[in-house]
């Protein structure tokens, strides 16, 4: 019944604590109450009660932090029952009290339930007598809590843990995990018998906000766990042991003269204590700078308090800011820092002049000269648009004689004269100059300052000046020579007279105008032609100068605007030679005629094209436009050139007959074939001609090479197949002449020198043979007489004989030839080539056949296996020719040439 009243009261929560906490509760309990037995529960959460400050009048009972009323010692309940009081206070400090009435249960077999567990099945049932009844549960504890940085002595009790298995077994408890067997080690321990958890030293919540470890229960006899392990959570209750700290930048900026309430910046802070508590609720305040700034107590926003912030007075404002937790309570922890507030510049100060007026002088006729520097001061920030000055001439510069710039280094105004001043016109000029900034003034009512400047003009002696700098005269072209166009005179500005002034022409490209030296009269000197290249857009310019008695000069310009006259006739362009494609299948050919006239309208186009009277009727003009017409055939014409007269006149009917030379030709792709063939040779034609020339040159070189090579070849024997060629590849070792070759050469030479043969040659002077000719058929007889010896001994014996023998033998053989003259001429030619190709082996000397003299041979890298190849060794044993088989490859080739192959 008491528990039902408790839950009823909790469900009807009101503001009053007396209504939230019942004045008394009743509960039925066993007669024998063991430690850990749960009696009931106080609604500490719903009524905002400080559970750890609830006290019991009976030491056998205690109230945990969650409001659970639990037995902490053995006690007995008599039949009359047992009563004790619970006292405490709520969060606002109001005190309360509640009576707890215990009565013995009628059923003593009920099992004790020591703890409530949020992970176990729980239930509450109402008895008819409204006495609270509880169902069986396993583990009991909710999260425990300990106080951060708790003060000694240690250890201190935390809470009891209990298991339902203690009813059936004699158990003991152990805890493991964080704070016990894991870092931080040995912070918690448990009483093995009672299950009381203890804490052994102080804890920092900012380092360990909570601990989770496991509770185990074991049977004392068997050592076996009698229940499943349970996770125990121990929360560390926060204390205000950390002062708030600044976490953001403390440098802010704002424009000067900003409005009241302008947000400047926000001060940021952090607190390591538990969030959403008074320990972390920070209040902001300013310890200095309150006359210009304010700060939001809860959000830290700094605001401008006054619009009188002036950067020119103070640029940076240091402001001391305090942050204090516990919502600013005096006992709260705090920190201070200095925030720097910089005022940004605005253009609230115009430039000011250092003087109230300025004066300066300048000579007349001077230009592009600096005459004055005007300094200014500005309080705004330097080198910014609010400080950079620009100057404006408000008055006195109507003629554009002055210009004022800014010196960006000194911020001064630079006054220049850009157009010469004339003393005779004005002795002084008064200017009004204002100084401004690149940026506009913030205050729209403020104005820029101005200063007067007096410019005095200094008189100088100057040359004459023409009445007008540029005299414009209209004149028609072809105006007769000597015609007076105008008078161009000058005056001395000092005397305002033209006395003593003379005039001269400075520039007259066409010499069209003459200038009177003393009068300044402008007369036509030569024909004025508007179509001249000297005329630009119908204007012709002349430069004239005037010189006074002091030789000072003044310049003037005369511009002739030339009016056009009809002095040109239309001309057909680009010429009178034209080409026309002959007609095809009844279509007559045509050509476009274009004309042009140098005159302007109305003396030029549109032109009138006509065929003069008496034309042959073969042509007609069609499609006549402003400057063109189409000349078309009327009848078919053969190809050729035709002369066609055409009369062309301008708009004033001025013109004449022009004869066109029209070529009628066949066309391909609209192009006249004849014209195309007569055109210049293109690049491909030039390349083709060059290629043909190169081929011809190559062919000539081939013929020369062929003829030269053919002359160098001399066939010695039909059976041997060898020939003598030039050998320029090696030293004298390759050109060794054996005695055999020497005898052969001498034989030919002697044969040619014999009287009989020479006589026959004299008779055959009329017979000619080409140089380099090979042995002819007539020369075979001689070769056969030389090489058809029966054996080698006869051949060598013939070599040892006199040359006359060979000569006579040769003549006798030659007499048997059928063509004597041809053979003689061939022998002469072959003798010359043999002498050139073979040469003498020994050379010309007194002992012509002394073949055993010492000779130099080229070194070929190794000794010859055949020994010496001189004349002595060659003829030492004429019967034994076996040495030829032991000669090298080069000497075998020589032997094959000199000996007859069997």
For 338-396, the pLDDT digits (tens) are 999 999 999 999 999 999 999 999 998 899 999 999 999 999 999 999 999 999 999 99
Instruction: Give the per-residue pLDDT at 721.
Output: 43
Contact 749, 793 (CB under 8 A): no
* pLDDT for residue 810 is more than 50: no
Confidence of residue 282 (pLDDT cuts 50, 70, 90): very high
CA distances from 409 to 200, 382, 402, 438, 766 (A): 77, 11, 22, 15, 113
Q: Which of 109-123, 282-296, 730-744, 846-860 has the highest mean pLDDT?
A: 282-296
Confidence of residue 878 (pLDDT cuts 50, 70, 90): low
Mean pLDDT over 748-753 rounds to 44
CATH code of the domain containing 384: 2.60.40.60
For residues 533 and 610, membership in a common domain is answered with no
> Number of helices and strands (H, E) in the chain?
12, 57
For residues 404 and 478, membership in a common domain is answered with no
Nearest to 286 by CA among 258, 316, 255, 317: 317
Question: Higher-confidence residue: 855 or 154?
Answer: 154
Question: Higher-confidence residue: 823 or 778?
Answer: 823
* pLDDT for residue 280 is more than 90: yes
For residues 323 and 370, membership in a common domain is answered with no
Q: What is the mean pLDDT of the chain?
A: 76
For residues 509 and 406, membership in a common domain is answered with no
Mean pLDDT over 743-759 rounds to 43
Paired tokens of 507: 């520039």
Instruction: Give the per-residue pLDDT at 402.
Output: 96
DSSP code of residue 561? E
Among 108, 137, 166, the domain-final residue is: 137
Among 344, 371, 398, the domain-final residue is: 344
Mean pLDDT over 400-410 rounds to 95
Question: Higher-confidence residue: 880 or 421?
Answer: 421
List the single range of 60-64, 409-413, 502-506 with lowest mean pLDDT.
60-64
Nearest to 415 by CA among 406, 423, 428: 406
Paired tokens of 402: 């002055």
For residues 841 and 728, membership in a common domain is answered with yes
Instruction: Give the per-residue pLDDT at 805.
Output: 37
* pLDDT for residue 258 is more than 80: yes
* pLDDT for residue 442 is more than 80: yes
Is this model's pTM higher than 0.85 or not? no
Q: Which of 96-100, 133-137, 230-234, 871-875 has the highest mean pLDDT?
A: 230-234
Q: Which of 44-53, 117-126, 455-464, 856-865 has the highest mean pLDDT?
A: 455-464
- Give the count of domains, the chain: 6
Instruction: Give the per-residue pLDDT at 801.
Output: 41
* pLDDT for residue 761 is more than 90: no
Q: From CA 457, how far away is CA 464, in angstroms rounded?
A: 19
Q: From CA 407, how far away is CA 512, in angstroms rounded?
A: 51
Among 344, 364, 388, the domain-final residue is: 344
SS3 507: strand
List the single range of 220-234, 438-452, 574-588, 655-669 with lowest mean pLDDT.
574-588
For residues 544 and 587, membership in a common domain is answered with no
pLDDT in tens, 517-563: 888 899 999 988 888 889 888 899 999 999 988 888 889 999 998 88
Instruction: Give the per-residue pLDDT at 624.
Output: 84
Instruction: Give the per-residue pLDDT at 200.
Output: 95
Question: Higher-confidence residue: 871 or 170?
Answer: 170
Which residue carries 């839950």 as its tokens? 7
Is the four-CA dihedral 852, 854, 860, 862 of positive or negative sign? positive
Instruction: Give the per-residue pLDDT at 779.
Output: 40
For residues 292 and 357, membership in a common domain is answered with no
List the single range of 26-35, 131-140, 544-553, 629-638 with lowest mean pLDDT.
131-140
For residues 741 and 889, membership in a common domain is answered with yes
What percent of the chain is modeled with pLDDT above 70? 69
Q: From CA 589, how far away is CA 632, in angstroms rounded?
A: 6
List the single range of 53-67, 102-116, 472-486, 651-665 with lowest mean pLDDT.
102-116
Determine, yes or no, domain membership for 841.
yes
What percent of the chain is modeled with pLDDT above 90? 34
Determine, yes or no, domain membership for 469.
yes
Instruction: Give the per-residue pLDDT at 880.
Output: 58
Determine, yes or no, domain membership for 481.
yes
Determine, yes or no, domain membership for 263.
yes
List the single range of 261-275, 464-478, 763-777 with lowest mean pLDDT.
763-777
Instruction: Give the per-residue pLDDT at 622.
Output: 84
Question: Higher-confidence residue: 728 or 423?
Answer: 423
Instruction: Give kind and range of the element (H or E) at residue 340.
Output: strand 334-344
Q: Which of 364-378, 456-470, 804-818 has the highest mean pLDDT?
A: 364-378
List the single range of 96-100, 101-105, 236-240, 751-755 with lowest mean pLDDT.
751-755
Determine, yes or no, domain membership for 272.
yes
Which residue carries 């310890």 as its tokens? 287
Confidence of residue 745 (pLDDT cuts 50, 70, 90): very low
Q: From CA 588, how far away is CA 664, in angstroms rounded?
A: 11
Instruction: Give the per-residue pLDDT at 834.
Output: 66
Paired tokens of 723: 């020939």
Instruction: Give the per-residue pLDDT at 449.
Output: 95
For residues 755 and 803, membership in a common domain is answered with yes
Instruction: Give kind and range of the element (H or E) at residue 757.
Output: helix 755-763
Nearest to 774 by CA among 818, 825, 730, 830: 830
* pLDDT for residue 66 is more than 60: yes
For residues 623 and 507, membership in a common domain is answered with no
Instruction: Give the per-residue pLDDT at 885.
Output: 62
Domain that holds residue 776: 713-898
**Burial track 638-674 (b if 16+ CB lie within 10 A, e otherwise):** eeeebebbbebbbbeebbeebebebbbbebeeeebee
Question: Higher-confidence residue: 4 or 386?
Answer: 386
Q: From CA 685, how far away is CA 691, in angstroms rounded?
A: 10
Determine, yes or no, domain membership for 335.
yes
For residues 40 and 17, membership in a common domain is answered with yes
For residues 545 and 588, membership in a common domain is answered with no
Question: Higher-confidence residue: 664 or 201?
Answer: 201
Instruction: Give the per-residue pLDDT at 690.
Output: 86
Mean pLDDT over 209-238 rounds to 92
Instruction: Give the per-residue pLDDT at 65.
Output: 75
Determine, yes or no, domain membership for 170.
no
Determine, yes or no, domain membership for 183.
no
Instruction: Give the per-residue pLDDT at 600.
Output: 79
Q: From CA 667, how far away is CA 672, in angstroms rounded?
A: 4
* pLDDT for residue 123 is more than 50: no
Tally Cβ neighbours within 10 Å of residue 488: 24
Q: From CA 568, how far away is CA 654, in angstroms rounded?
A: 8
In DSSP notation, 366-391 reads --SEEEEEE-EE--SPTTSTTT-EEE
Instruction: Give the per-residue pLDDT at 788.
Output: 40
* pLDDT for residue 135 is more than 70: no
Confidence of residue 686 (pLDDT cuts 50, 70, 90): confident
């Amino acid at each position: 019944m008491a528990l039902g009243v408790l839950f009823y009261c909790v469900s009807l929560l009101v503001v009053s604590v007396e209504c939230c906490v019942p004045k008394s509760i009743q509960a039925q309990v066993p007669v024998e109450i063991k430690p850990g037995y749960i009696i009931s529960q106080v609604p500490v959460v719903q009524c905002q009660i400080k559970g750890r400050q609830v006290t019991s009048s009976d030491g056998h009972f205690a109230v945990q932090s969650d409001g659970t009323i639990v037995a902490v010692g053995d006690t007995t309940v008599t039949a009359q029952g047992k009563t004790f009081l619970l006292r405490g206070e709520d969060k606002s400090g109001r005190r309360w009290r509640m009576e707890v009435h215990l009565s013995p249960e009628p059923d003593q077999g009920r099992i004790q339930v020591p703890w409530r567990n949020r992970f176990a099945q729980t239930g509450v049932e109402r008895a008819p007598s409204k006495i609270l009844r509880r169902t069986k549960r396993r583990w009991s504890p909710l999260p425990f809590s300990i106080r951060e940085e708790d003060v000694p002595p240690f250890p201190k009790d935390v809470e009891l843990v209990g298991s339902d298995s203690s009813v059936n077994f004699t158990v003991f408890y152990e805890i493991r995990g964080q704070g016990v067997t894991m870092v931080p080690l040995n912070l918690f321990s448990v009483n093995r018998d009672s299950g009381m958890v203890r804490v052994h030293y102080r804890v920092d919540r900012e380092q360990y906000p909570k601990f989770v470890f496991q509770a185990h229960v074991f049977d004392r006899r068997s050592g076996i766990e009698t229940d499943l392990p349970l996770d125990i959570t121990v929360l560390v209750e926060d204390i205000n042991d950390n002062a708030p700290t600044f976490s953001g930048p403390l440098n802010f900026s704002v424009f000067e003269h900003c409005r009241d309430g302008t947000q400047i910046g926000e001060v940021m802070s952090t607190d390591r204590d538990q969030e959403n508590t008074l320990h972390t609720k920070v209040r902001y305040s300013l310890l200095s700078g309150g006359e210009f700034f304010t700060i939001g107590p809860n959000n830290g926003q700094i605001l401008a308090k006054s619009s009188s912030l002036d950067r020119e007075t103070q640029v940076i404002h240091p402001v001391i800011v305090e942050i204090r937790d516990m919502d600013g309570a005096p006992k709260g922890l705090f920190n201070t820092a200095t925030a720097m507030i910089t005022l940004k510049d605005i253009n609230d100060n115009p430039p000011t002049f250092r003087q109230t007026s300025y004066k300066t002088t300048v000579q007349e006729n001077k230009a592009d000269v600096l005459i004055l520097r005007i300094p200014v001061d500005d309080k705004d920030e330097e080198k910014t648009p609010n400080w950079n000055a620009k100057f404006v001439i408000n008055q006195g510069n109507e003629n554009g004689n002055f210009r004022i710039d800014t010196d960006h280094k000194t911020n001064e105004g630079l006054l220049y004269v850009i157009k010469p001043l004339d003393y005779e016109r004005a002795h002084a000029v008064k200017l009004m100059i204002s100084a401004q900034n690149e940026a506009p003034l913030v205050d729209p009512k403020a104005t820029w300052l101005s200063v007067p400047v007096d410019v005095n003009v200094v008189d100088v002696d100057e040359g004459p000046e023409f009445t007008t700098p540029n005299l414009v005269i209209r004149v028609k072209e072809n105006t007769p020579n000597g015609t007076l166009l105008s008078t161009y005179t000058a005056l001395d500005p000092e005397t305002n007279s033209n006395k003593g002034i003379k005039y001269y022409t400075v520039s007259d490209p066409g010499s069209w105008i003459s200038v009177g030296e003393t009068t300044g009269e402008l007369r036509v000197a030569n024909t004025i032609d508007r179509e001249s290249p000297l005329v630009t857009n119908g204007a012709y310019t002349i430069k004239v100068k005037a010189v006074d008695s002091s030789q000072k000069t003044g310049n003037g310009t005369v511009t002739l605007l030339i009016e056009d006259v009809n002095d040109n006739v239309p001309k057909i362009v680009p010429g009178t030679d034209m080409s026309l494609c002959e007609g095809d299948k009844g279509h007559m050919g045509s050509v476009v005629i274009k004309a042009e006239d140098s005159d302007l309208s109305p003396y030029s186009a549109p032109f009138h094209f006509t065929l003069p009277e008496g034309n042959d009727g073969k042509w007609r003009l069609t499609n006549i436009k402003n400057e063109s017409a189409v000349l078309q055939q009327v009848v078919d014409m053969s190809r050729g050139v035709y002369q066609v007269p055409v009369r062309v006149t301008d708009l004033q009917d001025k013109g004449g007959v022009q004869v066109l030379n029209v070529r009628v030709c066949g066309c391909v792709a609209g192009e006249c074939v004849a014209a195309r063939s007569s055109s210049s040779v293109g690049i491909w034609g030039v390349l083709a001609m060059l290629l043909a020339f190169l081929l011809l040159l190559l062919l000539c070189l081939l013929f020369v090479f062929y003829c030269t090579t053919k002359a160098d070849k001399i066939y010695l024997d039909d059976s041997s197949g060898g020939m003598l060629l030039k050998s320029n590849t090696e030293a004298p070792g390759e050109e060794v002449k054996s005695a055999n070759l020497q005898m052969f050469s001498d034989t030919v030479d002697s044969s040619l020198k014999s009287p009989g043969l020479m006589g026959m040659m004299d008779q055959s002077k009329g017979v000619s043979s080409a140089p380099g000719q090979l042995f002819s058929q007539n020369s075979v007889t001689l070769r056969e007489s030389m090489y058809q010896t029966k054996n080698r001994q006869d051949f060598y014996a013939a070599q040892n004989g006199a040359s006359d023998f060979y000569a006579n033998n040769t003549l006798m053989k030659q007499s048997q030839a059928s063509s004597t003259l041809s053979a003689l001429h061939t022998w002469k030619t072959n003798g010359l080539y043999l002498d050139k190709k073979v040469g003498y082996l020994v050379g010309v000397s007194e002992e012509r056949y002394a073949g055993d003299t010492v000779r130099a041979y080229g070194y070929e890298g190794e000794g010859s296996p055949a020994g010496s190849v001189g004349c002595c060794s060659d003829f030492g044993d004429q019967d034994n020719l076996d040495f030829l088989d032991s000669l090298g490859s080069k000497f075998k080739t020589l032997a094959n040439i000199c000996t007859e192959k069997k």
